[in-house]
Amino acid sequence: QQKVRRYLQFQYKARRELQARRFEMMGRLSPWLRKEVTVHINKHVLILHPFFREMPQNLLPHACIIAVSMLCAPGDVVLQTGQTQHAMYFVARGKVHIAFGHVERDPMQFDGEGLRDPCAGMLPAAGFFGAHALFKDSWVAPYTVHCMTHTELLKLGKEDLLKLK
């Protein structure tokens, strides 16, 4: 048990150091090159949502730039049932668990449009949640999300998105 704990602590520390080096490297790039790298990293994650996939090509790079990377540890709560939200989240790396009230649903359930329901069960990388927060005046989370693994999320705020024109 101690070996497993030490290993997990090592992995967490190594990932944090790698992320810190990545941020340091990004800070040394010219503003234009930093933008290009950020767009390249974030674009494939954002276009998973139909809104961003259909976004005009001149605006998508700006959305990629305003997405904020968040590192979370296993057990971290990202949002809780009843919280008013003004941002959506994309799972870039790792895995989150979504509990819809007290009832869990299969993450592979499909809604009427044939899209995977991102609001239930286990959600791996290449998933998203909280999109309603971008498209409604006020949205209260009907579910709780916590990280199952070391996770990188991209957070995109409604106010930042509305500034894009």
Contact 66, 74 (CB under 8 A): no
Mean pLDDT taken over the chain: 82
Tell me the mean pLDDT in the region 62-78: 91
Residue 128 has a CB neighbour count (10 Å cut-off) of 19
Rounded to whole angstroms, what are the CA distances from 158 to 80, 133, 139, 163? 18, 7, 11, 9
Cα separation, 100 vs 129, in Å, equals 12
| pLDDT at 100 (0 to 100) | 80
Q: Which two tokens stand for residue 31?
A: 């503003």
Residue 126 has a CB neighbour count (10 Å cut-off) of 12
Give pLDDT tens digits for 71-103.
Answer: 888 889 999 999 999 999 999 989 999 998 644
Residues 6 or more apart whose CB falls under 8 angstroms from that of 41 comprise 64
